[in-house]
Amino acid sequence: MAVETLDIRSQGSLLSRLRLGSPWHWFLTVLMLALVGLPAVFLVLGSMSQSQVPTDIDLGALNLENYVSVWSDPTTYALFSNTFIYVFGATALGISLAATLAWLVERTDMPGKIWIYAGVPMTLAMPGMLQAMAWVLLLSPRIGFLNTFLIETLGLDIDPINIYSLGGMIFVEGLRLVPTAFLMLVPLMRSMDPSLEEAAAMSGAGPTSTLRKVTARLLLPGLIAIVIYQFITALEVFEVPGILGMPADIFVFSTKIYQIHHSATVLPEYGKANALAMIYLVVAVVATIAYSRVIAHQERYTIVTGKGYRPRTQSLAWLRWPAGILVFAFLLFSIILPLLVFVYVSLLPFVQPPSWEVLDKLTLQHYLNLGDDPFLLQAIWNTILLIVTTSTGTVVLAFLVSLVVVRTKFIGRKFLDQLAFMPHAIPGIVLGLAFLWVYLQGANLGFDIFGSIWSICIAFVVSYIAYGTRAMNAAILQIHKDLEEAAHVSGAPHWRTMWRIFYPLMLPTFVGVWVWVMLHVVRSASLPLILYEGPENQVLAVIIWNMWDEGEMQAVGAIGVIMILLLLLITVFVRSFGFGSSRHIQSQGT
C-alpha cells in the first residue's frame, strides 16, 4: 500500500511539473502577451487621451471625451451605413461567385475543370490595390478607357459607369474575395456524400429542388463559417475603399481612420482615431467570435463517413456555354484585364485611350527608369527583407506556439492559443495604429525602432500569427506521438527529433504558411502606410500608393506588371514544391 501511495504521489508530482511547464513555455507566453497585449492596451489608453502628441499620455487625465465626440458626430453613422453596405455587398458577390465556381468544378460535368481549379487561385497574385487602380484606369469618369470607348461609340453625353462609388467598391472587393472563398468551398463540395441527393432524386425531386432543399442545407454550416470569415476580410481591407472611395468622399471605417491619422490640413486627432478604431475593433471581434462558435460545432453536421463513395455530378447540357462564359468573365475581370491595362499604361509616354495611332508611341522607357530611382530600389530591398523576415518569423513563432498548445500539458496552453488567435479580430489599419503608439512610447524607454523596417516586420508577424497557428495546430495533430516516443527511446535529443521527424512531415505546412504570408505581405498597404516614416522603411505598397497619389500612373503600371508576374511565378513554383514534398513524404510513408 505504501508503494502504491508513493507511486501515485510521484505521478501527481510529475503531472504538476508538466502542467507548470518549463521556463521556455513561460517565456513564449510572456512574449505573445507582450506582442498582442501591449498594442491593445495602448490603443485603449490612446482612445481616452486628449494629448495631441502620441508620446505623451497623461494617465491622470484619461476620459471618454473622444468617444463622446465620435458618437455625437453624424458622419460616424454614415460610416456605419457605408461600411455595412460595402461589406455586405462585397461578401454576397464574392461568396455567390465562389460557390458557383466551386459547384461547377466539383459537382457538374463542366469541361476543362483542371484549368478552372488552377486559374481561380492564381488570381491571388493580383494585389487588391493594383486591381482597384486598374479599374480606375478602365472606368474613371475622367480618363476611363471603357467609359471613353462607350461615349465615343454610343454618343453619350455623360459617363455611363463611375467606379468611384459604393457599387464600384463592392464589385472590385467582391472579385478579390472569390479565390479564398473558392478554395474553402471546394473541399465542402467534394466531400459531400451524394446518397442524400440521390435519395431526393429517386423521390421525384428535380435538380433545382434537390440543390435548394438538400445540397444547400448540407452546406449551410460550412457556408456560414466562410461567409463570416469573408465578412471579416472585407471589413478590414483598406486598399480598395482607399483607392475607389476616398477620391469621392465615400468613407468606411478603415479609410476614415487613415484620413484622421494622415490629415494634411489640421493636426491629426490621434485620440479620435483611436476611439473610432475601438468601435471598428468591437465589430470585428463580434464577427470573429461568431466565426469561432460556428466552426466549433461543425461536427454536428458531419456528412462524410468511412464508406467509400463517388461524388454525384450533374449534367449541364446547354448550360455549359453560359457556365464557360461566367468562368472566363471572372478570370477576365480579376486578372487578365487588369494585367493588360497595366501593360498598356506602362508602355505609354502619357496616359491616353487605346487607339491604332498609339501603337507607334509605345516605349519601354518607364521600365528603364525604374532602375534609376534610388527610393524605388530601397523600397524593393525593404520589401524583400520584409517578406523573408515576416514569413519566416511567422512560421517559426506559429510552430513553437502550436507545439506548446498541442503537445504539452502546460497550464497556460489554452491562454497561449487564445492570444495567438486574437490578432485575427484586429483589422490591419487598427493594428498599425496600435503598434504606432507602442513604438512611440517605446522610444521614451530606449526601445526606438519606429521608422525602421523591423517595426513593420513585428506588426506583420503579429497580424498573421493567427493563420499560422491554425494551420500548425492541424498539422501537428496529424503527427502521432509514437514517432516522437520512438525517437526518444532511441536516444535522439529534442533537436534531432525536430529535424528528422517534424521538419520532413510538416514541410508542406511550413511552405504553405510561408507562401500565404508572403502573398499577403506584398498585397497589404494598411500597416505599412501607418508605420512608414521615410525611405528607411518604405516598401513597395507604400511607394505604389504615393506614386498613384502623385499621378505617376505609367510608373505604377510598370511596377505593377513586374510585381504581378513575379507573384504568379513564385506562387506556381512554391505551390508545386510544397505539393511535391507532400507526395514525396506520403510515398516514403507507404
Q: Which domains does the chain have, with CATH numbers?
A: 21-38+75-260+317-589 (1.10.3720.10)
Share of the chain above pLDDT 90, in %: 13
Q: Residue 577: is its pLDDT beyond 50?
A: yes
Confidence at residue 3, expressed as pLDDT on a 0 to 100 scale: 44
Confidence at residue 172, expressed as pLDDT on a 0 to 100 scale: 93
Rounded mean pLDDT of 306-325? 69
Q: Give the span between the Cα atoms of 517 and 467, in whole angstroms.
A: 9
Rounded mean pLDDT of 71-96? 89
pLDDT tier at 209, thresholds 50, 70, 90: low
- Tens of pLDDT along 381-411? 989 999 999 999 999 999 888 888 887 788 8
SS3 per-residue string spanning 152-165: HHHCCCCCCCCCCC
Confidence at residue 478, expressed as pLDDT on a 0 to 100 scale: 66
How many CB atoms are closer than 10 A to CB 321? 9
- Tens of pLDDT along 38-64? 888 888 887 887 766 665 666 666 778
- 146 with 190: CB under 8 angstroms? no
Q: Residue 424: is its pLDDT beyond 60?
A: yes
**What cell does 351 get?**
496616359
pTM: 0.81
Confidence at residue 301, expressed as pLDDT on a 0 to 100 scale: 45
Query: What SS3 class is residue 490?
Result: coil
- Tens of pLDDT along 523-548? 888 888 888 887 788 888 889 888 88
DSSP code of residue 142? T
SS3 per-residue string spanning 334-363: HHHHHHHHHHHHHCCCCCCCCCCHHHHHCC
Going by C-alpha positions, the residue among 214, 220, 223 that lies closest to residue 312 is: 214
Q: Give the span between the Cα atoms of 129 and 237, in whole angstroms.
A: 10
Beta-strand ranges (E) seen in 421-570 are none
Confidence at residue 110, expressed as pLDDT on a 0 to 100 scale: 79
Q: Give the span between the Cα atoms of 401 and 397, in whole angstroms.
A: 6
How many CB atoms are closer than 10 A to CB 451? 16
- 117 with 186: CB under 8 angstroms? yes
Q: Residue 588: is its pLDDT beyond 50?
A: no
DSSP code of residue 191? T
- Tens of pLDDT along 289-302? 776 666 665 544 44
Confidence at residue 427, expressed as pLDDT on a 0 to 100 scale: 77
Task: Determine the residue type at 436.
Answer: L
- 530 with 431: CB under 8 angstroms? no
Alpha-helical segments (H) within 191-269? 195-202, 207-210, 216-236, 239-244, 253-261
Rounded mean pLDDT of 179-202? 70
Q: What is the mean pLDDT of the chain?
A: 78
- Tens of pLDDT along 261-280? 776 455 567 777 778 888 77
Q: Residue 579: is its pLDDT beyond 80?
A: no
